[in-house]
Structure 1
Amino acid sequence: MKLTRSEFQNYIHSYEQDEIFYRDLYFAEKEHPETFREYCQNLDREMIAQRKLYVPALRKEGWLPYLNEGTLFQDFTGDIMLSKHYRYTPAFAHEHEFFEIMCIYDGTVKTTIQGIPHTLQQGDVCIIPPHTRHSVSIFDDSIAINILVRTSAFQSTFFQTLTADSALSQFFTHVLYHKTEGNFLIFHTGNDKIVMKSVEKLFIEYLGHEKYSYTFLNSMLILFWAKLLRYHENDIESILTKETTGSSMTEILNYLNQNFQIASLSDTAAHFGYSSSHFSKLIKEGTGRTFLQIIRDIKLNQACRALRETTLSIPSICKLVGYETTEHFMRTFKKAYGMTPGEYRKTSSSLLEK
């Protein structure tokens, strides 16, 4: 059942159990530092472990967690997850394998990205790519909403929707294929109600768990990015250095995402005016992967999506994504994922029923 906008606003501003724990912990240290150590020693350690709470005073060493995509999405078959950042959580540096889009829904949030501090205001949208060390500090009633997206989603469904010369396209090309650490992108949207309403609708759709919700979320996120670019492409803060070859590589990747079923090295090279050998080298230098590896990954990502979201037969999916034989598709899929397409579909269906 979907929440109304009013119900959502009550939900997002209400304090959850873990937030209350962290708020009590914060004020115990701030207002009574002389007894804080004793306060921590009297906490319920079993409860802390069960709820996976972070209490720095109870840890003997620093904590730099790495959040693996497979672990986060293991009980989830879609590409997008949303959550509220728990207020008063002790700030801790961490990295993850997926994209994070942090939207400041209300108030002010402090974050540190690769050691550089930033103050994010209401309406700011901060995109943090994989393998980027960052931390978040919220010690008041401010609200930050996190949109977590599988990296593979950018390599298939979302990437092809971006125009080659857009700021987002340049950014995603750089962080996905050049692997430069420390990049980030911040859209300063101010009090743009259109942007925040889009975030609200995304979260409400996510919480509703209605039929075809994953497809709706994918489409809504694409529309969200389009709105950011239409209204705020000139309101961007980033340390990204734009390269002269960025646009051409973006165009190539867009082309491959749109024509992966039939694209060959020679035909694609000819389309862009290169010889096959030069084009092969250009692809390798620009992405770190071969032409065949890129095409394979796009095909498999599309196959996974079809297995999760449709009832098409495996031979039909094989034909849909451009494999000539079912046997070749089955071998390639099992080598990549450790299971057959049928097993993948069964696992995805069982997760949806939970």
Structure 2
Amino acid sequence: MREIHPDLLRKLEKITKEEEIILSGKNSVEKTLYTTKKEFVIDSKKMLEKGKLIDVRTHTRFTHFPKHKHNYVEIIYMCTGSTTHVINDASQVILRAGDLLFLNQNAYQEILPAGEKDIAINFIVLPEFFDVAFDMISGENMLKDFIVDSLRQDTKKSSYLHFKVADILPIQNLIENMIWSLMNKQPNNRKINQTTMGLLFLQLLNYTDKIEKTDNDPYDNFITISVLRYIEENYKDASLTRLAGELNQSVYLLSKTVKRNTGYTYKELLQMKRFNKAVELLTNTKLPVTDIIAAVGYDNTSYFHRVFKEKYNMTPRKYRAGLS
């Protein structure tokens, strides 16, 4: 992992006013700094200036941070040291330097006391901030959709994503750039930071193997993400039997896990990917339809034509002709 720039680190290390009060003997978080409600839901209106969609603050050290959730998406980046998070009363997540933790608005967490050198950055992000970032991830991508759903308030999927990406230099650079831009109130910083977030997501999609945990059943979600990544990368000749062997799973159990977590069977997911890719090739290339059918993994052209017509109410040739 690259070390954070020393000038930036010096700013982040400073004892805050809240921490001064804690160190003077109060030894607990002042709830009214974060919310006016009885339930401890940290309010974006307390954390963000009016009109802002994103900001950063350092995590409060030297005391136990009690169980709470947020009415925004929180991204935690561990600069130095480590912090221990208990999520949804079940999962213990230890963040170490370079780690990223994404929490959606359903996730409850409490954080064990952090020491002086345990410096974590909290990104406070309103959901609409992600609009530009997600638009940058072009095309149909089931893996992207699964990750995006994990950040939505009404998701039934993972309530958090833990990326262990300390050794991924581009990701570390992008995060530091965003912290620097927000702390220094750089001109045009909304557009800069939304673009940077988009680049960050594009990089994270390349490293979904670095997701350490996702929710109360981390292995279950690891399996699902592995299947989605496998389909994205191997749609032409994907084999459920081969993948089950690689993941040390039975075909039956693997199929059940995928269906439970995505709402689709493995066959449906594979077909979706193949036809999405076929549409992309019809749109962006002049390849003959027969070549496209082979390129996306079908050797039965009549089957492809039948399913394509069922999905799009026209033949592949008419679909292409309608684009011109």
Q: When the two structures are superposed, what TM-score results if normalisation uses the length of structure 1?
A: 0.54
* Residue matched to 1:187: 163
- Deviation of the 1:178 alpha carbon: 4.9
Distance 2:66 2:166 in 1: 27
Give the letter aligned to residue 102 of structure 2.
I
Matches within 5 A, 1:25-64: 25=25, 52=33, 64=39
Structure 2 unmatched ranges of 5 or more: 216-220, 222-259, 277-308, 315-324
Give the letter aligned to residue 157 of structure 1.
V
- Deviation of the 1:274 alpha carbon: 7.3
- Deviation of the 1:100 alpha carbon: 0.7
1:145 to 103, 110, 121: 121
Question: For each residue in 1:156-200, what CA deviation from the matched residue of structure 2 results, as whole angstroms up to 9, or x when unmatched?
Answer: 322233354364431222552753276211111134343333222
Secondary structure, in 3 states, of the residue corresponding to 1:104?
Answer: strand
* Residue matched to 1:329: none
Distance 2:150 2:95 in 1: 23
Matches within 5 A, 1:225-236: 225-230=201-206, 232-236=207-211
* Residue matched to 1:76: 50
Contact 1:101 1:125 survives alignment (8 Å): yes
1:221 to 190, 197, 207: 197
Contact 1:104 1:125 survives alignment (8 Å): yes
Give the letter aligned to residue 118 of structure 2.
S
CA 274–203 in structure 1, closer or farther in 2 if over 3 Å, else same: farther
Q: Residue 133 in 1 paired to residue 133 in 2?
A: no
Give the letter aligned to residue 100 of structure 1.
E
Distance 1:180 1:51 in 2: 31
* Residue matched to 2:312: 273
Give the letter aligned to residue 144 of structure 1.
A
Contact 2:34 2:43 survives alignment (8 Å): no
- Deviation of the 1:124 alpha carbon: 1.2
Distance 2:311 2:185 in 1: 43
CA 185–17 in structure 1, closer or farther in 2 if over 3 Å, else same: same
Cα RMSD for the two superposed structures: 3.8
* Residue matched to 1:115: 89
Question: For each residue in 1:181-236, what CA deviation from the matched residue of structure 2 results, as whole angstroms up to 9, or x when unmatched?
Answer: 76211111134343333222111101222321111111111112222223x22111
CA 6–175 in structure 1, closer or farther in 2 if over 3 Å, else same: closer
Q: Residue 202 in 1 paired to residue 173 in 2?
A: no
Distance 1:89 1:64 in 2: 20
Secondary structure, in 3 states, of the residue corresponding to 2:95?
Answer: strand
